Chains A and B, each alone.
Chain A
């Protein structure tokens, strides 16, 4: 018995009216879980550079393991923070124009910070 206008296919897909389903919910949890070991790794890496001169810090950041962990940390963080800030914007900004603009700026910021950080890590890792 059909209770709504929803087609069986639509119900099975489970994507809802925004066509994204639980995508954000799930990604936020996946990046949260990944963020735990990556945050610890990040703190250890930063701590190992405290008080060191440029050459030493550069050599540390250029180490493949360090560079990979830093890239993963940045990637996981910017995905996580983009979704988080989107939720905040959607909670507090209800006017359509400013909301869409802020959501777009949020995406730009996350991509810009992520790309800039990743580029710097790769440049250090592959040698300037």
Chain B
């Protein structure tokens, strides 16, 4: 490995494992380089997201993480709703008014889509955990089903919401 350490890395969000070989210039001894941290410059980084043409599966992977982050923040809306209800009529009606406003409904629309998309994306991951669904066409199909499914379910939820109102 001396002189030519090979790095094996997984590219996040791409589902491809890539292998690449690094050649340090011969005048840099590995130990010396480590000692004065020249290695940090000599060592190539894994190519990052902007290098790749966005693929459906990659975009869906990013969406899964983004919706997860959104839901993380979105728990505050649930907590606020529950706490307001526990506090009493006045605070509950205030929160309901905010959530019922145009902006509030837009945020809740986004929240419900994120929740459903993350749920379907999670099911996709659970399928992968069983070792299935790794083929090219299967991956594309799962990605499409996740997106279409989340949009359809979100519409259904909101149609139901307006119907029971």
Contacts and interface: CB of A to CB of B under 8 A. Distances in A.
A78 interface: yes
Interface string B62-92: 0001001101100110110011011011001
B125 interface: yes
A77 B164 contact: no
Secondary structure at the B interface, as helix, strand, loop or mixed, is helix
A123 B82 CA distance: 10
Contacts of A50: 161, 164-165
B122 interface: yes
Contact of B160 (A47, A78, A117): A47
A36 B164 CA distance: 23
Interface of A: 29, 32-33, 35-36, 39, 43, 47-48, 50-51, 54, 57-58, 61, 70, 74, 77-78, 81, 84-85, 88, 91, 109, 113, 116-117, 119-121, 123-124, 128
Nearest to A54: B89
Interface in B118-165: 119, 122-123, 125-126, 129, 157, 160-161, 164-165
B100 to A, nearest CB: 9
Given A32-B122, A43-B112, A48-B164, A61 B85 contact: yes
Given A29-B126, A47-B157, A124 B165 contact: no
A29 B129 contact: yes
Nearest to B84: A120
Contact of B161 (A47, A109, A128): A47
Q: How large is the interface on B (under 10, 10 to 19, 20 to 34, 35 or more residues)?
A: 20 to 34
Contact of A119 (B86, B89, B93): B86
10 contacts: A33-B126, A35-B122, A36-B122, A39-B116, A39-B119, A51-B164, A77-B75, A85-B72, A109-B72, A117-B78
A85 B160 CA distance: 32
A120 B94 CA distance: 17
B9 interface: no
A120 B112 CA distance: 22
Contacts of A35: 119, 122
